Structure 1
């Protein structure tokens, strides 16, 4: 009995500490959602959200926060995905019913197990949004999150997210990336609540997301330009950075060539660097302010590898792929 009491006290203190930590770090709305108890159904959760929040914005944000804070990414399924489901119906109506049933099963599993990949995150968001009186769409498409995504060949859909209508305006939401991120080096999923993937500016969102359907694409350009663009990280968005040069994320350079970069809104110059293969800090060269942006150079050394990733205050900022020039 004493051991059980100690374990309970330890668990209680952990919950209190987490609540306190999150409350200090995130908004008041997120703190309210963090303290929610377990709910027996999505309907019960939606009822609570509608009780606690009245505006469309707050409801949409509460759903985002609840999913990002409560669901865990299913890394096992991500690394070893099952065979895609195929539907062999005689007509479009029957096919649509089968897809709807499959989506309902995925949504229910995500809510009950608190574990899913992007499809489960996004379908659950859509269900909770609909139950809360919001107009919401489930969107599939391509995404860029790993270094090898820069300049890769075209592939089909590999990600899902949402767009939800708030006060007549459709905004972009990725609750999966709001939950955390995949550590490519360690091959582990890291849970880290990330608020920026709620209502992210389209210019930034579409640098890492490319919708399968043209009805969601807006002015996102073509698929090749998307894949060849630089890889941006959360720090890039947080600092409202813009890249003026190079014009592509795929840079053609040979050993010893100087590559010129121009990035707007970098205020902490002394903290900007990239890494060599030994993960040693390498300072940028010839930095100068020009037309409201920072211009600097990097002398390419093939020993550093195929990619150059810039860091700002020890946080990844943006990455480029280096391809040898044709001689």
Structure 2
């Protein structure tokens, strides 16, 4: 029987990739408590803030955790500035000189509004995390590139639109996204609600790569060959809450899929330890009605889960994957007769 798409096979080696699981022996409650204890601190003295957040912690990963948690829970998204910057960059995308001048202007605006009002866009989140980490003698870099969310249009990916961080801890680089960890944009209200998502902290690079594409390829932190930009653009929609429920997304690897009736479609994920395979369900929309279905479980090797589904009728369908009540992924299927 023909399989839809390319089923990615990965040999799972314990701790093969730099990720939070490297520190399962660390209890982050003390670091989180310290971060939450300084909730009302201003940004007028960053060296002092870095000292307060880290001085009573024993390990570099705890020190980074306290700084990261503070940034994620104290800085608000400036959607007005984000929208203005997006419109301007789109307008100037074919004029390199004017675009560079605008980038310099908006960078100054970002820093001023960040330090004064504790409001910013992704550049400000990444800058603040890097600065506080460096002040605490932690190696941390800003990574620039492209990010895909449920609201991202292909036109948004013609210019760089996102920034995040890489941090070196105990000799290894780790990826984190403080902007998306603090909450994601509501596609209807265009607002951003503070809603911390743990999975963006020291994320597995393979999951991170589904919706992050760095300009400098060294920051993939992948052992295998990194995907092309076209592969990235054509990938599935992975929502922020996927990072609460998945450790890895393996298949399908495309958003838009062409299949035949009764063709077996394979879905493959590695689940977070808190999630059971029975918590997964599909909601399928054919443009007229939306129905909930339970996919057939084909593989459940610990946290590695395989699911199968077949469409019985031709047409065009949106297939949404839910983990309990969390929407985690969306794909489309054109089913041929």
Please classify the TM superposition score into its range, dividing by the shorter chain length. Answer: 0.7 to 0.9
Tell me what 1:200 maps to: 203
Shift of 1:142: 0.6
Alpha-carbon distance in 1 for matches of 2:109, 2:189: 32
1:278-317 correspondence to structure 2 within 5 Å: 280-284=290-294, 287-290=296-299, 292=301, 293-299=305-311, 307-317=318-328
Q: 1:137 to 1:295 in 2, by over 3 A?
A: same
8 A Cα contact 1:152 1:228, kept in partner = no
Q: Look up the match of 1:273.
A: 282
In the alignment, which residue of structure 2 is the partner of 1:156? 159
Map 1:195-234 to 2 at 5 A: 195-219=198-222, 220-234=226-240
Partner residue, 1:83: 88
CA contact (8 A) 2:78 2:121 kept: yes
Are the counterparts in 1 of residues 31 and 62 from structure 2 also a CA contact under 8 Å? Answer: yes
Name the structure, 1 or 2, with higher relative contact order (CA <8 Å, separation 6+): 2
SS of 2:88's partner is coil
Deviation at 1:127, TM superposition (A): 1.0
- Is the 1:271–1:313 contact (alpha carbons within 8 Å) kept by the matching residues of 2? yes
**Bigger Rg, which one:** 1
CA-to-aligned-CA distance 1:132-155 (integer Å, 9 cap, x gap): 111111111011111655x77952
Match of 1:34, SS? helix
Output the CA distance in 1 between the equivalents of 2:151 and 2:68.
Answer: 27
Query: What is the CA-CA distance between 1:63 and the residue it aligns to?
Result: 1.2
Unpaired runs of at least 5, structure 1: 1-25, 89-94
Aligned to 2:180: 177
- Give the drift of 1:114: 0.8
Distance 1:241 1:138, change over 3 A: closer
Distance 1:261 1:208 in 2: 20
User: What pairs with 1:109-128 in structure 2 (closer than 5 Å)?
Assistant: 109-128=113-132
Residues 106 and 123, structure 1, Cα contact 8 Å, conserved in 2: no
Q: Distance in 2 between matches of 1:324 and 1:269?
A: 26
Aligned residues: 291
Using the TM superposition, give the Cα deviation of residue 300 of structure 1 relative to its aligned residue in structure 2, in angstroms: 7.7
- Show the counterpart of 2:265: 260
**RMSD, aligned α-carbons:** 3.5
Q: Report if aligned partners of 1:141, 1:211 keep a CA contact under 8 Å in 2.
A: yes
34, 37, 50: which one aligns with 1:35: 37
Structure with greater helix percent: 1
TM-score by length of 2: 0.73
2:318 aligned with 1:320: no
Give the aligned partner of residue 66 of structure 1: 70
Q: Distance in 2 between matches of 1:41 and 1:193?
A: 25
Deviation at 1:322, TM superposition (A): 3.4
- With normalisation by structure 1, the TM-score equals 0.75
Deviation of the 1:317 alpha carbon: 2.0
Deviation per CA, 1:233-282: give whole Å up to 9, x if none: 3454444455554343321147x665623324563436512153578442
Q: 1:279 to 1:74 in 2, by over 3 A?
A: farther
Give the superposition deviation at 1:320: 1.1
